Amino acid sequence: MKTWHKVAIIAGGVIVAGGIVLYSVKAANRDVITVQTAKVAKQDSLVSLVTASGEIKPTTYTNVTAQGFGRITDILVQEGDRIKKGQVLLQQDDVQPSADVQAQKAQINATESGVSAAEETYKASQADLVQQKANLEKTKLDYQRGQGLYKDGLIAKQDFDQRETTYQAAVAAVEASQARMESAKAQMDEARSQLNQNKAVLVRTKDVLEKTTYFSPINGIVSYLPVRMGEYVVPGIQNSNGSFLMTLSDMSVVTAEVKVDETDIINVKIGQPADVTIDAIPGKTFHGKVTEIGSQAILRSSGLATTQSTTGTQEAKDFKVVVTLDNPPEDLRPGLSTTAKIRTAERKNVIAIPIQALAVRTRKELEDAAKKNKGDSGSSVTLAAPPPAMPGDPKKEEVQGVFVVNAGKAIFRPVETGIMGITNIEVTKGLQPGDEIVVGSYKALRTLKPSGRVKVDNSAPKKSDDQSN
């Protein structure tokens, strides 16, 4: 055999052997999934947060609207000015209301004079009635004496008739005086009623005049001022709102009104602490507490309460939550965008794992993996038993757990969880400190089968892998 024949045979044998080895390696690693792992450890503190966005709102604010018809003649404040209760804000044209007040005062003066004259007339009629009654009493006595004298024949009939006529005239005079007094009293009462009516009209005209000057009902700031001097304004009529003049806000008590997702609202309670950040004031965090929780869901698309919607909908809903700031800064303005992080729960010294380490598998997958693992006589690894079956189709029932790495395999272990933090979640049952669990990648966790073979690679993941995930 020639030398080159020998060389060719040896080279061919090496190639065949290498191919067999390469095939064996590939076959051995065909079902192996590369994963990232982490050791389970206890965490000193775990805080559960509910994050929601909204805007700054004052607890007390007032919308000032027009109180009467007229033209704005003076605006004494500017938007952003700080104001005190009772401070003059705006002046409206008052020529006509002022003239009405002056005219009504003159009318009252005239009516008061009429009342005085009626009172004097009434007093005079009273005095006249007293005089007429006294005269009647005198003529009555003369008439009674005349009756006795005439009966005894001591006076002539002519004298008796004269006494009788005088008496009857006195009676008529008393009745006439009585009527005059009653008439004077009626005139006096009418004059007094007219005076009271004119005074009531004066109160109304003064009110109209006073409403041409607008005073601040609260301490605060002018947060919105849309009107300009010279504009005409009108008051509200029935269901029509009056001209809007300005908004006054009391910023001594400031709140962050945020919208919390319906899935989180069950964890929010009155009095829970919250950290509030304001977009306009970067780098600062303000503390506060939950002081109000809305009981009515709000549609996210329209902002209307569900009771205001006439049709059923499955769209996302929010609930209003009010966080009152402890020490609000003086330069806050209503409407500033804000984010509140409400601390709904806190645990000390807990076992916590990354949220992404949680996986869900069906009961059927777990049972199939358990049977396969049991039939593998060469394996010393046992699959953690899944929890008892719930009523329903076991093929569709899902079990929550994590993959624990043991002897090169990812063993699915059901766990019970507690509160959830920003990146970690509490595990109350199923894990012990020191357990090595699979935490990535997302693609691996999504496709990893219970009791599957894995290769641990905790180096930094490649960008292409992240993008593909």
Specify the fold of 50-60+254-348: Elongation Factor Tu (Ef-tu); domain 3 (2.40.30)
Q: Which residues on adjacent β-strands are paired with residue 261?
A: 318
Taking the C-alpha atoms of residue 249 and residue 246, their distance in angstroms, rounded to an integer, is 10
pLDDT band with cut points at 50, 70 and 90 for residue 150: confident
Taking the C-alpha atoms of residue 444 and residue 287, their distance in angstroms, rounded to an integer, is 41
Query: Is 72 in contact with 244 (CB distance < 8 Å)?
Result: no
Give which of 361, 363, 373 is closest to 449, Cα–Cα: 361
Q: Per-residue pLDDT tens for 199-232?
A: 999 999 999 999 999 999 999 899 899 999 999 9
The set of long-range contacts for 12-17, using a CB threshold of 8 Å and a minimum separation of 24, is none
Q: Which residues contact 396 (CB under 8 A, 6 or more apart)?
A: 362
Q: Where are the chain's structural domains?
A: 31-44+351-468, 50-60+254-348, 96-209
- Average confidence (pLDDT) over 312-337: 86
Taking the C-alpha atoms of residue 403 and residue 410, their distance in angstroms, rounded to an integer, is 5
Q: Does the pLDDT at position 310 exceed 80? A: no
Tokens at 319, concatenated: 């609930």
Q: Per-residue pLDDT tens for 262-283?
A: 999 999 999 999 999 999 999 9
Q: Indicate the range of 18-27, 257-266, 278-287 predicted with least confidence.
A: 18-27
Architecture per CATH, 96-209: Orthogonal Bundle (1.10)
- Average confidence (pLDDT) over 463-469: 50
Reduce the DSSP state of residue 425 to 3 states and report it: strand
Architecture per CATH, 31-44+351-468: Beta Barrel (2.40)
Q: pTM score, two decimals?
A: 0.62
